[in-house]
Structure 1
Amino acid sequence: MSKERFDIHQHLTDRIVAAIEAGAGQWQMPWHRGSGGRAPVNISSGNAYRGVNVLALWVEAQVNGYGSHLWGTFRQWADKGASVRKGQKASYVVFYKEIEVEPGEGNEDERKSRLFARATPVFNADQVEGLERAPVVAVTELPDVDGFIASTKAAIVHGGHRAYYVPKLDEIHMPPRELFTGSATSSATEAYYSTLLHELTHWTGPAHRCARDLSGRFGTEAYAMEELLAELGAAFLCAELGIAVEPRADHAQYLAHWLKVLKADKRAIFTAASKAGEAVAFLRK
């Protein structure tokens, strides 16, 4: 009997669902715990991972207790003079490769292309030996965040006690900064910024920005999936800007919806992460 083909979409979805369920009692998502909040980086290229791979590696770091944000393949670690310890289990990232497909009958002049997902096993720095590690430098200042937010040119109105985006007015409403409080994992300033970045992700949704419409894919769960997308967008941006992500209490109500959709559709988290990535790219312009 042939070995069943490895389904990277199902694998990553199952890992993410398990991590969400493990923290559901505290209404925290995987990027709120463990080493979540710091962008995972490839040891060979020095580049940060993107999209669903960020979430996948945050989940693996949290589940396995890894403290490092550095990842690489078996060969990439060897090229750095390190070796993966015997018995260590790989985590997986996914890359898409575009492959041209031969035209079929009746459309000989039209070549098509398809995206194929390729799973790549990677290991965390905590799983290797022989690596000289640079000291971890704690972020104490957030010098670029205000400039980044101003560059979006979003209309931000301060007042009241809730944070929300108003599509009809195209405005983000935020409580005054002094109303935000710190926690065990983030400062009051970080709580303010992570909330604002969540709303900025929502702000990218209209047709004249990212033209994001999830209703065709997720139906009645579209609003809950937009909230998951905004969670991911804020988490990606916080990782880039060096901000600890502060969980939002109102997301507790969405956990059941997210789990329902992820369990029913193994590609849902990939769609959410991809759309979040598009939102982040728009905000970076």
Structure 2
Amino acid sequence: MKRGFSLIELLVVVVIIAILVGVATPYYSDYVKDSKRSKALQDLDALKQAVVLHNSQEDLPYLGIIGTDTANPLPTLGEKDFNGLMGRYLTFIPTDPWGKNYKLDPYACFVYSEGPSSSKSDDIREYYVKDLALNKIEWEDLDNDRTISETDLLYFHFNKSVYIQGDISANDFIIYENNEVATDPIPVLNMTFKQPHPAWSETQATDTVFICEVQAGTTVKLGVHALALKDELNVLHKYREVKYDRENSGFNLIRTEVEYVPTDATKPLRYAIRTNPVKIKPK
């Protein structure tokens, strides 16, 4: 006669299974979480490459779907940010592992998923322009005297939107000649900053180009001298990266924000880096 399992033996088996499930569940949960994050990063990399290809082929930054308001054609950011890339740059737009659409921030230059909870702390980002940097300086010869002189304009181009705390000052720069710090005599750059618009602030900082008016006494020469931001935190912190403020923006309103260090609300989390000297070129 075959003997069945006793109650004690069954209880032991159940306890062992329960222990194994209890031990394995956190590992499985972490595995699912990590696999979803990996899938999101793969999708974001594909979307990032599509944006990069568009920007290089079109020689224009991709801003998302541009609205139809001819007086104020703002990008319509939200649920269809990559539709403008379909056809030539994308054949398929994926959804993230949590069933939501991927999104674009054309000001801080990253593509992102809002993650499982849609809160900012859950964002998964992939930058297509990593660091904020000065990448071009142009000169406009308003008086046609072929030299950088009083009332001429200098255009400072950054590779992404930036909020400048205060203004662009000549004291923010080191002047170079032939890739060496210019000396004997030290060239002079005098200029005043012209803000992009009167209400400019870190909540409206979508600009990438800033204009300064040359003042008397300037001796910097076109094609000879180049400028680089000083490698000093108090200077670099002035030039602050901004991101799209999705909570306070709307269909006809774009708002930006600066992210600050959590433990110090006066220090920007992301700011300009120092690059090689940038030569002044005619506009």
Report the TM-score when normalising by structure 2.
0.24
Higher helix proportion, which one?
1
Higher strand proportion, which one?
2
Q: Which has the higher contact order (CA 8 A, sep 6+)?
A: 1
Report the TM-score when normalising by structure 1.
0.24
Rg bigger for which structure?
2
